[in-house]
Amino acid sequence: MTYVDGFILAVPRKNLAAYKKMATLASKVWMEYGALSYAECVADDVKPGKWTSFPQSVKLKKGEVVIFSWITYKSRKSRDAILAKVMKDERMTKYMNAKAMPFDGKRMIYGGFKTMIEK
């Protein structure tokens, strides 16, 4: 079974092009280091819920859109090795500064997941 890193974040619509540029670069870097797949998705049919929802999870503000993304790896061990390389890659380090990110990193939700069912 594979291992997956998942992310949910809010991006101001005015920064969507900058986010796409950053994510396109990130996808190349992650894949170069061995990720199996990399996906970035923009909310299309995502409504606020009564108790919880994607918009509520990131405290979505007016003029923002939810991004849902994931990266798959062969294993947790593979993910840990790839992530260590990505975090040292000069192409990515410039985005590790909060001011350089086209979104509010404090409202990003992320984590690693063991695959339970995979087809």
E strand or H helix at 86: helix 76-88
Residue pLDDT, tens place only, 19-62: 999 999 999 999 999 999 999 999 999 998 888 999 999 999 99
Instruction: Please give the single-letter amino acid code of residue 93.
Output: T
Position 119 in a domain: no
Position 36 in a domain: yes
The total number of structural domains that make up the chain: 1
Residue pLDDT, tens place only, 55-87: 999 999 999 999 999 999 999 999 999 999 999
Rounded to the nearest 10°, the torsion over CA 29, 64, 48, 38 is: -10
pTM for the full model? Answer: 0.93
CA distance 78 to 1: 12
Residue 105: which CATH number? Answer: 3.30.70.100
Angle at 39 between CA 41 and CA 72, to 5 degrees: 140
74 is in which domain, residue-wise? 3-114
